[in-house]
Amino acid sequence: MNEPDTTLKETIKSNARRLFASEGYDQTPVERILDELSLPRHLFFTLFASMDELLEELWSE
């Protein structure tokens, strides 16, 4: 993964972490995470295989 992808992934993770804390994991769909960042849905699945993978990465930090 190149540097822009890494930065984008960290941006998505940061937004997801904030939303999970305020709204809960089950109440935070991919679209909600990406809409605030004005990013297309397909981009999420380029960087993460699933929401579970995103959660696992956040949990391991």
As a whole number of angstroms, the distance between CA 20 and CA 28 comes to 7
Predicted model pTM: 0.87
Q: Is the pLDDT of residue 61 over 90?
A: no
As a whole number of angstroms, the distance between CA 36 and CA 60 comes to 24
What is the CATH classification number for the domain harbouring 46? 1.10.10.60
Total count of domains within the chain: 1
Tens of pLDDT, residue by residue over 18-27, are 999 999 999 9
Burial 2-13 (b: 16+ CB within 10 A, else e): eeeeeebbeebb
* pLDDT at site 6: 84
Domain residues for the domain of 56 are 3-60
Q: How far is CA 51 from CA 4, 20, in A?
A: 21, 11
Tens of pLDDT, residue by residue over 1-47, are 666 678 999 999 999 999 999 999 999 999 999 999 999 999 999 99
* pLDDT at site 53: 96
* pLDDT at site 4: 60
Coil vs helix vs strand at 25: coil
